[in-house]
Amino acid sequence: MIEEPVLILVATVGGTATYVADEMADKLRAKGIKPFVVQMEKAALKMFETRKLFIICASTQGTGDLPDNAQPFFDALQGERPDLTGVRFGTVALGDMTYSASFCGGGRQFDEIFAELGATRIVERLEHDRVAGGYPEEAALEWLDGWLDAAAGNRVSNA
Ligand SMILES: Cc1cc2nc3c(=O)[nH]c(=O)nc-3n(C[C@H](O)[C@H](O)[C@H](O)COP(=O)(O)O)c2cc1C
């Protein structure tokens, strides 16, 4: 059982990532877990002092770029390089395979910097392609099962 709250950090342009994050939050609540959905423009490094369990839910804009609402938080991670040892996380990356070389670049950047700063990636990143069909929230909810297992320590991850 997961006793601590889960922070879902949202990087979005058009709101799809927010919708996906809200759906994941509903599922967590149904399991008796307390989620906080936090838009990235409100995220601060201070939160790592008290929160250790994270889901990054991020779309991509431009050519593999972060959504604007996520850039300051990303810059803070990159500039201040907090030690994220003890933080456990997973990433839901939303993208469009039409942008082949930069597919899911926004989510990938967060996934990589969290790991680089010492956080433990408990499951592999989900990369959802909007043109391949399939609803992103459905893919995310299925992915969340694996994240929950790993977070509860039920499964050793190779991620
Ligand atoms: C102008 C624009 C640029 C995009 N660039 C990329 C990209 O480089 N790579 C990618 O995988 N997806 C790209 N996408 C697709 C979005 O990331 C995808 O549609 C996502 O679901 C949008 O989520 P959001 O509504 O939360 O922002 C782009 C979409 C738009 C409108």
Question: Is the pLDDT at 156 greater than 70, yes or no?
Answer: no
Question: Tens of pLDDT along 65-120?
Answer: 999 999 999 999 999 999 999 999 999 999 999 999 999 999 999 999 999 999 99
Cα–Cα distance for residue pair 73/22, rounded to 1 Å: 20
Can you give the pLDDT at residue 159? 54
Q: Is 39 in the pocket of ligand 1 (CB under 6 A)?
A: no
Neighbours of 75 (CB within 10 A): 11
Could you please state the CATH topology (level 3) that the domain comprising 6-151 is classified under. Answer: Rossmann fold (3.40.50)
Question: Tens of pLDDT along 115-154?
Answer: 999 999 999 999 999 999 899 999 999 999 999 999 998 7
User: Domain map of the chain by residue range?
Assistant: 6-151
SS3 37: strand
Can you give the pLDDT at residue 155? 59
Question: Is the pLDDT at 158 greater than 60, yes or no?
Answer: no
Measured in whole angstroms, the distance separating CA 29 from the mean position of its chain's CA atoms is: 17
Residues forming a β-bridge with 93: 58, 127
Measured in whole angstroms, the distance separating CA 78 from the mean position of its chain's CA atoms is: 17
Can you give the pLDDT at residue 133? 83
135: CA distance to ligand 1 center in Å?
15
Cα–Cα distance for residue pair 61/92, rounded to 1 Å: 15
- Point out the ligand 1 atom lying closest to the alpha carbon of residue 67: 27
Cα–Cα distance for residue pair 104/66, rounded to 1 Å: 10
